[in-house]
């Protein structure tokens, strides 16, 4: 990965500049980059949106929002914001018409350097059309000395066919090297650390295969309910919202082969290879390898929440799932026979994203004549992605005393204990990499399509009928999720263990 150097002069054109993503994540991240001198006074921001108004309208909205952000001193008072806000302008217009692109062209023609990055922070139905318009107006054409890049938010497609169609539409106009498909999980520090943990540590990587690893669990539990996102969520569901993107990015980092270098292409090749190796189930197999749930009404952390079916803009009789658990296989030499159990849901016990790598049991023949009568617990490596980023290694030791008995203990590392990780949005590295042209943390067309291919059998099966099983808010999901793993004589890792330790 390149050394951190300030980004080159660029105009960042944000489509959807008055939207939630821009004010909640993009602008705060750019303020953080400005404070750290990773972007300089040669970054201009040109906001585009349908809301009428000019520069002052956008700046006022951002000021108002930033007044409520920040630890202690609000972000609106940050000197970095004072510098950045001088370089923000706004054009109001319709993304589907031509006028706005003519205006963007005019602004870019006088921009120093001529570099532009277009950030599509808009609903997905606009993605393909905006790229076509940019190309039609010559705005996507790069020259020897200037770049034109396009960052696209998720969701990228709603199934395999639509993801393929969108890739085809976009790649018909611009090169893959210009496209930055975002998955914000890749901006999280601990996710980036997965590669270092694996490839900078002999004792981890040498055990990293089916010979020593029994199975892997990936969990993204959320306490939030669907709330005001009913319209989006009801058309999406937990599987589409979290699995082919966020959870598969984690899976790919865990399961990929070592890349030949830390080059974007080398890493993306290996990630795509492992995603393409995910077994694509028959309909019969899908029926036994995936379960879904939906939360009912109840209390969560002392707050009354409505059942998913009572959420505004959720269709009556909706079959959309708010929880999903899958058992998957990556059919490669390294992972033959090792199940990857994935689960994610809303309105669960606690917010926790973690990866658990459970090792094979020891043969333990030497304990036969001792007091160690129970099965030794397996070693586990628990990678805590959020919150409380860190890692724990669960091992067995002899408990003190005259008899031979073992007790499991945990060797713990927490980022916050050793580093000042500050308050980052997770978007800093993604925006910075977009500006310097490093595609490592962005998804490539083939990887996206491989992810959708692996979940398509579940989408097809669940579209045909049946319904998700109810679970109580504040639980760990429906009973069928326990059944999925217990059938294999395994258990989900108890999430509260890690958190309880750090309270």
Measure the CA–CA gap between 295 and 471, rounded to whole angstroms.
Answer: 5
**75 labelled binding-site residue:** no
**222 labelled binding-site residue:** yes
Nearer to ligand BG6, 61 or 184 (CB): 184
Longest C-alpha distance within the chain, in Å? 84
**16 labelled binding-site residue:** yes
> Minimum distance from CB of 187 to ligand BG6 (Å)?
9
**354 labelled binding-site residue:** no
Using alpha carbons, list the distances in angstroms from residue 107 to 11, 39, 91, 110, 452. 9, 20, 10, 6, 38
Nearer to ligand BG6, 241 or 354 (CB): 241
Give φ, ψ of 95 to 5 degrees: -60, -20
**469 labelled binding-site residue:** no
Which residue in 78, 214, 222, 428 binds ligand BG6 (CB under 6 A)?
222
By the rule CB under 6 A, 225 interacts with ligand BG6: no
By the rule CB under 6 A, 449 interacts with ligand BG6: no
Q: Quick check: is 215 catalytic?
A: no
Residues 6+ apart with CB under 8 A from 293: 321, 322, 323, 324, 345, 468, 469, 470, 471, 477, 478, 480, 481
Sequential DSSP letters for 120-188: E-S-GGGHHHHHHHHHHTTTT---SS--EEEEEPSP--SSHHHHHHHHHHHHTTS-GGGEEE--GGGGS
Q: What is the DSSP letter of 26?
A: I
Nearer to ligand BG6, 339 or 345 (CB): 345
Spell out a b/e string for 437-470, using b for 16 or more CB atoms within 10 Å of the CB, else e.
bbbbbbbbbbbbbbbbbbbbbbbebbeeeeebbb
User: Which 104-123 positions form the footprint of ligand BG6 (CB under 6 A)?
Assistant: none
Nearer to ligand BG6, 24 or 83 (CB): 24
By the rule CB under 6 A, 321 interacts with ligand BG6: no
What are the residues facing 218 on neighbouring strands? 342, 355
By the rule CB under 6 A, 389 interacts with ligand BG6: no
What are the residues facing 45 on neighbouring strands? 12, 88
**438 labelled binding-site residue:** no
- Note whether 197 and 383 are within 8 A (CB): yes
What does the per-residue mask of binding to ligand BG6 show for 148-167, with x meaning CB under 6 A?
A: ------x-------------
By the rule CB under 6 A, 241 interacts with ligand BG6: yes
Nearer to ligand BG6, 238 or 291 (CB): 238
By the rule CB under 6 A, 354 interacts with ligand BG6: no
Measure the CA–CA gap between 226 and 397, rounded to whole angstroms.
Answer: 44
> Minimum distance from CB of 133 to ligand BG6 (Å)?
26
User: Which 264-293 positions form the footprint of ligand BG6 (CB under 6 A)?
Assistant: none
**311 labelled binding-site residue:** no
Active-site hit among 137, 215, 246, 502: 246
Residue found by looking up tokens 């004010």 in the block: 23
User: Which 176-195 positions form the footprint of ligand BG6 (CB under 6 A)?
Assistant: 184
Token digits for 264?
Answer: 């974007």
**24 labelled binding-site residue:** no
Would you tell me how many other CB atoms lie within 10 Å of the CB of residue 421? 11
> Minimum distance from CB of 487 to ligand BG6 (Å)?
28
Give φ, ψ of 172 to 5 degrees: -75, -20
Size of site (CB under 6 A) for ligand BG6 = 5
Which parts are annotated binding residues? 16-23, 94-95, 154, 184, 188, 222, 241, 346
Q: Give the residue numbers annotated as catalytic, written as ranges.
A: 246
Which parts are annotated binding residues for substrate? 184, 188, 222, 241, 346
Which parts are annotated binding residues for NADP(+)? 16-23, 94-95, 154
Chain residues that interact with ligand BG6, rule: CB under 6 A: 154, 184, 222, 241, 353
């Amino acid at each position: 990965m390149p050394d951190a150097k300030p980004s080159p002069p660029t105009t960042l054109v944000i489509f959807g500049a008055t939207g939630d993503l821009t004010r909640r994540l993009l602008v705060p991240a750019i303020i953080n980059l400005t404070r750290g001198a990773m972007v300089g006074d040669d970054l201009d921001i040109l906001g585009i949106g349908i809301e009428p108004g000019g520069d002052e309208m956008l700046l006022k909205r951002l000021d108002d929002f930033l007044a409520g952000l920040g630890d202690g001193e609000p972000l609106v008072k940050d000197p970095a914001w004072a510098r950045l806000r001088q370089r923000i302008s706004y054009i109001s217009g319709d993304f589907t018409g031509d006028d706005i692109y003519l205006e963007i062209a005019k602004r870019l023609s006088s921009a120093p350097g001529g570099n532009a990055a277009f950030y599509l922070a808009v609903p997905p139905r606009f993605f393909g059309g905006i790229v076509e318009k940019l190309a039609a107006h010559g705005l996507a054409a790069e020259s020897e000395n200037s770049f034109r890049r396009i960052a696209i938010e998720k969701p990228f497609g709603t199934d395999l066919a639509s993801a393929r169609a969108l890739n085809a539409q976009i790649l018909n106009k611009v090169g893959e090297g210009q496209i930055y498909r975002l998955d914000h999980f890749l901006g999280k520090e601990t996710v980036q650390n997965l590669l270092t943990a694996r490839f900078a540590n002999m004792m981890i990587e040498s055990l990293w295969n089916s010979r020593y690893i029994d199975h892997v669990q990936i969990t993204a539990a959320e306490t939030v309910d669907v709330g005001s996102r009913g319209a989006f969520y009801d058309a999406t569901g937990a599987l589409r919202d979290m699995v082919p993107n966020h959870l598969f990015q984690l899976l790919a980092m865990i399961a990929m082969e070592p890349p030949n270098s830390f080059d974007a292409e080398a890493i993306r090749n290996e990630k795509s290879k492992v995603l393409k190796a995910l077994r694509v189930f028959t309909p019969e197999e899908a029926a036994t390898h995936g379960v879904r749930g939906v939360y009912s009404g109840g209390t969560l952390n002392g707050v009354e929440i409505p059942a998913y079916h009572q959420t505004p803009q959720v269709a009556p009789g909706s079959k959309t799932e708010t929880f999903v658990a899958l058992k998957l296989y990556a059919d490669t030499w390294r992972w033959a026979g090792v199940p990857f159990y994935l689960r994610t849901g809303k309105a669960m016990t606690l917010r926790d994203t973690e990866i658990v790598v459970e090792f094979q049991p020891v043969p333990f023949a030497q304990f036969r004549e001792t007091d160690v009568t129970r099965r030794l617990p397996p070693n586990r490596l628990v990678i805590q992605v959020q919150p409380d980023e860190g890692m724990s290694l669960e091992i067995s030791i002899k408990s003190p005393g005259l008899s031979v008995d073992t007790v499991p203990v945990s060797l713990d590392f927490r980022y916050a204990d050793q580093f000042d990780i500050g308050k980052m949005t997770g978007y800093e590295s993604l925006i910075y990499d977009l500006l310097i042209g490093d595609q490592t943390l962005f998804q490539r067309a083939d990887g996206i399509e491989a992810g959708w291919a692996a979940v398509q059998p579940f989408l097809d099966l669940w579209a045909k009928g049946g319904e998700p099983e109810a679970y109580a808010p504040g639980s760990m999901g429906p009973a069928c999720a326990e059944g999925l793993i217990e059938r294999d004589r395994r258990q989900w890792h108890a999430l509260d263990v890690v958190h309880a330790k750090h309270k």
